[in-house]
Every structure is written in structure tokens, then in C-alpha cells.
Amino acid sequence: MSSSTKDWRESPEAIAAVDALFASIGLEHGRRATRAGTWEHGERVRLPRTSKAAIKPAPSARKPRRAPGLIRPAAWETYPWLRAGFSTREGGATTAFGNPGDLNLGWNVNDPAETVAANRKHFLEALAGPHPGQLVAVRQFHSPLIRIVGPDTAPLATAEGRPVLRGDALITKRSDILLAILTADCVPVLVADTRRRVVAAFHAGWRGTLARIVERGIGTMRLQFGSRPKDLIAAIGPGIGACCYSVGEEVRFDFESQFDYAPSLFSEVYDSDPVKDKYPLLFLTARAPGHSNIGPQIHLDLVEANRRQLLDAGLSASKITVVGECTACTRLPNGQRRYFSHRDEHGYTGRMLSVIGVANE
């Protein structure tokens, strides 16, 4: 549902029209009370009633420095050898997804390949200068598969620049390449070893997060390169926030089976609908209690889930930067979307890049 449609439905004029319509056939409005709760240790525990608008992504301690189409982790500016950043959808040449000037960086059948190549060139030059090196990505499939790119790893991409390797994480010490993760709601995580100059990029959707891809990845850095947690810094890029990310009950059960802090990652959200609030009887079903879809949505804080994995892997909280913007609901001052969102745009959208590399000095 578009934002303009939602605004119309919630206007006083629209509600008054609905009231008049139902009053003409003798219906009166009421209000349905709904209980919030979750299961813990076999018993239902009540949760506070929460509105969708009340859930906001956690802000970063330091505001990231931005350039057109590019967000750099501000805390990383003290490392001149480090090339890292997250793209937005601003400043490109794509027109396929409704906003002229979109910076789509993913190969997409709806966007000409030459447009994507031009967008990538523009973004990489803004990130790393006129000679950024080869961009290396993976064919992502929501797995815990981690790829180490060594001096003899080949091929890394097709002639056009499309990925060859399958996986959802990349680690390297090479200084002639840039590692990249593509996202449009999933959480990108970039990690750098400031002592050994090893870098890593992780694609963390809920499946990868459940499989502890970030935690496993840092373990791989320690095993393969001798990285120490005290030397690591991390940045969590734009991803869908707890404000907009509803999931099924089975996802909550899966997380609770893996993480003792899982209850803190979930909230039950009551997305207010003015018509349903006034006329609840019209939306009742004949299904047995407990089998109807009436009730709160379960929302997952995927950003916090990955921040907790970084902490569990030994990183200090002060070494973790969180961009803190939701890809589904963040808007520019002109009302246009700041990011691509697979969920909010129903799959018809572009992709952002999250890139990290070591400068070729």
C-alpha cells in the first residue's frame, strides 16, 4: 500500500465518510481490546502494547559523514588505508524503479547492464578514487558460507563484472580488490582488522543471522589471519529496521532456540487501522480462537541481532558503528525513498552495495 493511500484512509474526511456509510445501515463502532504477550519458559509473559511508530532504529553514537550516494562510517576516518562505505539510491542513472536518478548497483533484468556499470563506476570513484581496484562480490543465497579471497583465488568475476563465487561473506588481505555485499533490506556488516589489515563483508538476512554468519566470520579471521578482537572495528549499514520488519512466529522460535537474548530482539506491534479500530466486528472470522490472523505483528530487530553477535565475538561496543537508518521507511526531504527496499517495494527494486577494501599503497 502506498504512503498516499494510507494518508487518505487516515484523514478525518475519510473516517467521517466511513462512519456515515455504516450509520446509514444501523452499524455502530466499538473497539477491540487485544492482549500482547510472548512465550518464555513455557508460560506466556505479557509485553507492553507497542505502536509501529514507536519502534525506531537505534541511532549511531556518531553521525556518519555522507557524500551523494555514499555513507562512510565516521569513526573509520582515522584509518587512511581503509576504503569502506554504504551506498544509497541517490546519484545514479537508473530510471527503472520509479525514481529518476536511482543508483542501482545490482545486475537486474529491468535495468540495462550499461547503466549498472556506469552507476558502479560512479560509486566506486566516490568511494576509492579514480583507480579503486577490482570489485569482488558473491552470488548470495542466504547461507552461512564464507569465502576467503587469497592471492590465487580466481576467477573472481565475469568480464562484465558479475560475481562467480557463491556465498554470503567475503574475507581478504589483498590490497588490489574491494569486497562487496548487495542488499535491499538485509543487514550489511563490514569488519576490519586495524593491525593486520584484513577486511570482511557480511550479508546478514534473518537466515544468515540465525546461522551466526558474522560470529563465524570473525572466528574465521582469527583462525586464518590471526586477528584479535581488540584490533577489530565494525560497521553495520542500512537495513530494514524493527519498525518495519515483521516475521512469523516460527522465526521467533528459531531465534529463541539459538540465542539466550532472543526475547529482547522481538516486539509485538499493533499497526493501527482506523477502520478496524472503529468497526472490529466487520473483521471477525469464523475460525477457532488462536487460528485467526487478528492480532499483533511480530517484529525482529535484525540490526541489534548482528550487533550482539559482534559483541559475542569479542568486539568492544565502542568499536561498532551503526548507521541506524531503516531501508523500508527512511525518506529524503523531498519524500523519495533513500534506500531500495525489497519488502516495501514488493520485490521490484534495485540493490545497494556495501564495500570494504585496503588501499593499494
List, for residues 287-313, the tens digit of each pLDDT value. 665 555 556 899 999 999 999 999 999
| 138 and 113 assigned to the same domain | yes
- Confidence band for 74, pLDDT divided at 50, 70 and 90: confident
Which of 6-26 are b and which e, b meaning 16 or more Cβ less than 10 Å from the residue's Cβ? eeeeeeeeebeebbeebeeee
Q: What is the pLDDT of residue 178?
A: 98
Cell of 102: 536511482
Range in 60-74, 119-133, 299-313, 314-328 the model is least confident about = 60-74
Give 265's contacts (C-beta < 8 A, 6+ positions apart): 255, 259, 300, 301, 304, 305, 308
Q: What is the pLDDT of residue 60?
A: 46
| 272 and 235 assigned to the same domain | no
| Pairing, β 169-172 against β 198-204 | antiparallel
| 236 and 252 assigned to the same domain | no
Give 183's contacts (C-beta < 8 A, 6+ positions apart): 203, 237, 238, 239, 327, 351, 352, 354
pTM of the entire structure?
0.80
Per-chain mean pLDDT for the chain: 86
CB atoms within 10 A of CB 46: 10
| 109 and 167 assigned to the same domain | yes
Q: What is the pLDDT of residue 57?
A: 52
| 204 and 264 assigned to the same domain | no
Q: What is the pLDDT of residue 7?
A: 54
| 269 and 154 assigned to the same domain | no
CA angle 164, 167, 168 (to 5 degrees): 125
CATH number at residue 353: 3.60.140.10
| Pairing, β 146-149 against β 169-172 | parallel
| 41 and 172 assigned to the same domain | no
In a domain, residue 305? The reply is: no
Q: What is the pLDDT of residue 279?
A: 77
In a domain, residue 306? The reply is: no
Using left for φ > 0, alpha for ψ between -120 and 50, and beta otherwise, residue 347 falls in left
| 89 and 229 assigned to the same domain | yes
Question: Which residue range is the domain that position 30 belongs to?
Answer: 3-54+246-284+291-299
127-154 pLDDT, tens digit per residue, is 999 999 999 999 999 999 999 999 999 9
Checking if the pLDDT of 325 tops 90, the result is yes
In a domain, residue 60? The reply is: no
Span 216-242, mean pLDDT?
A: 98
Range in 55-64, 82-91, 300-309, 312-321 the model is least confident about = 55-64
Range in 107-111, 120-124, 198-202, 286-290 the model is least confident about = 286-290
Span 176-198, mean pLDDT?
A: 98
Q: What is the pLDDT of residue 30?
A: 45
Q: What is the pLDDT of residue 357?
A: 98
Range in 18-22, 154-158, 194-198 the model is least confident about = 18-22
SS3 letters across the chain: CCHHHHHHHCCHHHHHHHHHHHHCCCCCCCCCCCCCCEEECCEEECCCCEEHHHCCCCCCCCCCEEECCEEECHHHCCCCCEEEEEECCCCCCECCCCCCCECCCCCECCECHHHHHHHHHHHHHHHHCCCCCEEECCECCCCCCEEEECCCCCCCECCCCCECCECCEEEECCCCEEEEEEECCCEEEEEEECCCCEEEEEEECHHHHHCCHHHHHHHHHHHHHCCCHHHEEEEECCECCCCCCEECHHHHHHHHHHCCCHHHHEEEEECCCHHHHHCHHHHCCCCCCCCCCCCCEEEECHHHHHHHHHHHCCCCHHHEEECCCECCCCECCCCCECCCCCCCCCCCCCCEEEEEEECCC
| 274 and 144 assigned to the same domain | no
Structural domains in the chain (count): 2
Give 303's contacts (C-beta < 8 A, 6+ positions apart): 57, 58, 187, 236, 239, 241, 242, 322, 324
In a domain, residue 227? The reply is: yes
| 215 and 340 assigned to the same domain | yes
